[in-house]
Amino acid sequence: MPSRMADTLAAGAALTPPDVGPDDLVYLEKVRLAARRLAYKAPAPDDMADALGSLRDVAQFDVEPPTSANRREVELLKTGVKRLLSWYMRYLAVQLNNFSAATARVAEVLVGRTEKLERGAGELEARVGALEERVRRLEAVRAASPKDVPARTRSASR
């Protein structure tokens, strides 16, 4: 089917956003960050921070079920059921929310500790790498002059 309008706008090309003041820039940055937080990200199997974010997203249990419906009588029925059960749902929800908050806290602690261990492991890896390199260098020196080594060893023992 034919395209009748060529106004497909690429960002920054056909449209130039207006200049905005410093206060607006701060607010816009807040908006960008907030929207980015909810944006779809390709799942990374080893991204713990992402997994923790997902846990936080679903850790709150809402006790306010939507009651709107296409038919008035159904909406009234839903509202009635909601009011009748609200004390019971709240009682359960408080416990579930406490449990999920504690679970999220455990996950945060574990992520923190794991990241600390990973940082430590990274440092150790670097140090082991440096030591291996030093050993390799020394072995290369020794291999280059095999006759000198016993002589030096003899003179050192005297």
- Chain residues in the site for another protein (CB under 8 A): 1-12, 15-18, 20, 24, 27-28, 30-32, 34-35, 38-40, 42-43, 53-54, 57-58, 60, 62, 66, 68-71, 75
| Residue placing its CB nearer to another protein in the complex, 47 or 139 | 47
Query: Measured from the CB of residue 118, what is the shortest distance to another protein in angstroms?
Result: 23
Distance in Å, CB of 64 to another protein, minimum: 10
What is the nearest approach in angstroms of another protein to the Cβ of residue 45? Answer: 12
- Listed in sequence order, the residues at least 6 apart from 96 whose beta carbon sits closer than 8 Å to its beta carbon are 61
Among 124, 9, 4, 104, which Cα is nearest to 52's? 104
Judged by beta carbon, residue 23 or residue 153, the one nearer another protein is 23
Q: How far apart are CA 54 and CA 111, in angstroms?
A: 13
Which CB, 57 or 125, lies closer to another protein?
Answer: 57
* Nearer of residues 17 and 150 to another protein, judged by Cβ: 17
Rounded Cα distance between 155 and 149, Å, is 10
CA pair distance 64, 78, nearest whole angstrom: 11
- Closest contact distance (angstroms) between CB of 110 and another protein is 19
**Do 16 and 10 form a contact (C-beta atoms < 8 A)?**
no
Closest CA to 78 of 67, 62, 70: 67
